[in-house]
Chain A
């Protein structure tokens, strides 16, 4: 082929379909997230350990809460915490990407901004599914958590899909704070929100002022839905 015809052919090239989105990229992004040991521990291992320490205590584990028991309630809470941490840190990785100049590099490729956000959201959802899956699997295996079968499915889905809101929070933080420490900031924020939302300690044990505040914190709502 001559030089002229290669240029002519090149000028006829088409932009990529789906703005550059492919499944391989999501896979690479998930692999990247899993390489971050802190994310792995905080999103997948910590919630399981919390469930094992607080969810199986014989003194209250079988007490009735809503349609299930206390153990199931702790399981849902921990899955929610893990999923939220997973999706938020997935979103927050934008911060690291902006700082390293990767975002700038991506702007010199056909990748569209919408495709980029979709990739980030899906990556966050995959890790979130891992977090929910880990806690629910341990919950099933330990046989203390009890609730109607349909609730196992709907709560898992609610927690998983609901946590996507926190991918947006992570993205927001990521664009706001270009910092290597973004994951610590996210971690502290979410632990605070989890306490205030009653995920770690039942709200009844809080001073009344904090009980009043709880409904206005972001992790309060999802848990109420799960108890209906």
Chain B
């Protein structure tokens, strides 16, 4: 399954920038913690200027991979290059910055002091007031971090990440704990940034964020990349549509026999039929049964996500079961 998917979608072609190194280059990266293999052979090239979403269930290896790109951990096997150098070199030059999921702040510093502290660490930095303004927290600059809400702290993390004016920004679940308006503003700021040529990689649980804001989606499951492409391409992997109808006493076997149907689900009086040929299913249902209230929907990114990362879709999961 994995190979087939990767064959169908090749990494999207981007204009290269006059032979300049790629933002991130992972080749055959493995990472083990004791007997647990968190990352199992990831090859990933991120071009500069891309906005890439990293999707995957918990424990898929997203954070392990991000840690390797940041130089926080070393791969057990494989090579990592960030802008053609080691991750630590890239960090030392201020080329890489990250927004962590939680923590990473001191409660007894104010918002401005935290930003100032960060700015002092980098050889080149944006003015503190400017980044606070861009993150929308200049009005709470003198508040202690411990007294800020989760959303405000998240914006502070974002402001800190903007300070070195990094070429690559890594965001691990950046909008967790933000309200809807906060999330929208956050992504607006990120978009504006990406237009200036910054490379952005974010891990998220919000599929709609990946759908709306990423040029490229990389799906990771059990430590392997299972899909890599634009949002439309990844969605296309879970082909077909879902037909939903009210049909008491549905004959599941008969429905499954309709050509193109790959799944039938009966929930009380409601049937859900997944099929590559939704027209045929609809015609049969309406003509040959007393089905009513018919609805046909295209499968979204979420279906692709479930189809591609679910245990049934994955060969490594069998290894896991066998190992236990």
- Please tell me if A8 contacts chain B, counting CB pairs below 8 Å: yes
Query: Which one of B4-12, B100-108, B257-265, B280-288 is at the interface?
Result: B100-108
Q: Which residue of B lies closest to A31 (CB)?
A: B113
Q: Which residue of B lies closest to A15 (CB)?
A: B92
- Please tell me if B141 contacts chain A, counting CB pairs below 8 Å: no
- Please tell me if A36 contacts chain B, counting CB pairs below 8 Å: yes
Per-position 1/0 for B106-119, Cβ under 8 A of A: 11110001001110
Q: Which residue of A lies closest to B157 (CB)?
A: A105
Chain B residues within an 8 Å CB radius of A31: 113
- Give chain A nearest CB distance to B164 CB in angstroms: 8
- Please tell me if B220 contacts chain A, counting CB pairs below 8 Å: no
Contact A15 B93, beta carbon cutoff 8 Å = yes
- Give chain B nearest CB distance to A28 CB in angstroms: 5
- Give chain B nearest CB distance to A98 CB in angstroms: 10
Contact B116 A13, beta carbon cutoff 8 Å = no
Per-position 1/0 for A29-51, Cβ under 8 A of B: 00110011000000000000000
Chain A residues within an 8 Å CB radius of B268: none
Per-position 1/0 for B84-98, Cβ under 8 A of A: 100000011111111
Query: Which one of B120-128, B182-190, B208-216, B232-240 is at the interface?
Result: B120-128
- Give chain A nearest CB distance to B66 CB in angstroms: 10
B100 touches which one: A7, A28, A104 (CB < 8 A)? A104
Inter-chain contact count A-B, CB under 8 Å? 109
Contact B104 A104, beta carbon cutoff 8 Å = yes
Interface residues on B, range: 35 or more
CA distance A170 to B305 in the complex (A): 49
Contact A25 B120, beta carbon cutoff 8 Å = yes
Chain A residues within an 8 Å CB radius of B167: 7, 10-11
Contact B197 A16, beta carbon cutoff 8 Å = no
Contact A105 B108, beta carbon cutoff 8 Å = no
Per-position 1/0 for A133-149, Cβ under 8 A of B: 00000000000000000
Query: Which one of A107-115, A184-192, A198-206, A218-226 is at the interface?
Result: A107-115
Contact B109 A7, beta carbon cutoff 8 Å = no
- Please tell me if B14 contacts chain A, counting CB pairs below 8 Å: no
Contact A110 B104, beta carbon cutoff 8 Å = no
Contact B123 A15, beta carbon cutoff 8 Å = yes
Q: Which residue of A lies closest to B103 (CB)?
A: A101
CA distance A136 to B94 in the complex (A): 45
Chain B residues within an 8 Å CB radius of A17: 123
Output the residue of B20, B49, B197 with the most chain A CB within 10 A. Answer: B197
- Please tell me if B323 contacts chain A, counting CB pairs below 8 Å: no
CA distance A13 to B48 in the complex (A): 17
CA distance A36 to B106 in the complex (A): 12
CA distance A107 to B104 in the complex (A): 10
B121 touches which one: A8, A16, A104 (CB < 8 A)? A16
- Please tell me if B34 contacts chain A, counting CB pairs below 8 Å: no
- Please tell me if A212 contacts chain B, counting CB pairs below 8 Å: no
Contact B95 A11, beta carbon cutoff 8 Å = yes
CA distance A198 to B106 in the complex (A): 37
CA distance A193 to B91 in the complex (A): 43
Contact B17 A28, beta carbon cutoff 8 Å = no
- Give chain A nearest CB distance to B156 CB in angstroms: 11
Question: Which chain B residues in 165-216 approach chain A with CB under 8 Å?
Answer: 165, 167, 196-197
- Give chain B nearest CB distance to A187 CB in angstroms: 18
Q: Which residue of A lies closest to B95 (CB)?
A: A10
A108 touches which one: B91, B103, B196 (CB < 8 A)? B91
A-B contact pairs, 13 of them (CB 8 A): A3-B197, A6-B196, A11-B20, A11-B83, A11-B95, A20-B122, A25-B120, A36-B108, A101-B100, A105-B103, A107-B71, A109-B164, A110-B91
B interface list, Cβ under 8 A from A: 17-18, 20-21, 48-49, 70-72, 83-84, 91-98, 100, 102-109, 113, 116-118, 120-124, 160, 164-165, 167, 196-197
19 further contact pairs, Cβ within 8 A, besides A13-B123, A25-B117, A110-B91: A6-B196, A10-B95, A11-B93, A11-B95, A15-B93, A15-B123, A20-B120, A28-B116, A28-B117, A101-B104, A102-B103, A104-B103, A105-B105, A106-B121, A107-B72, A108-B72, A108-B97, A109-B91, A109-B118
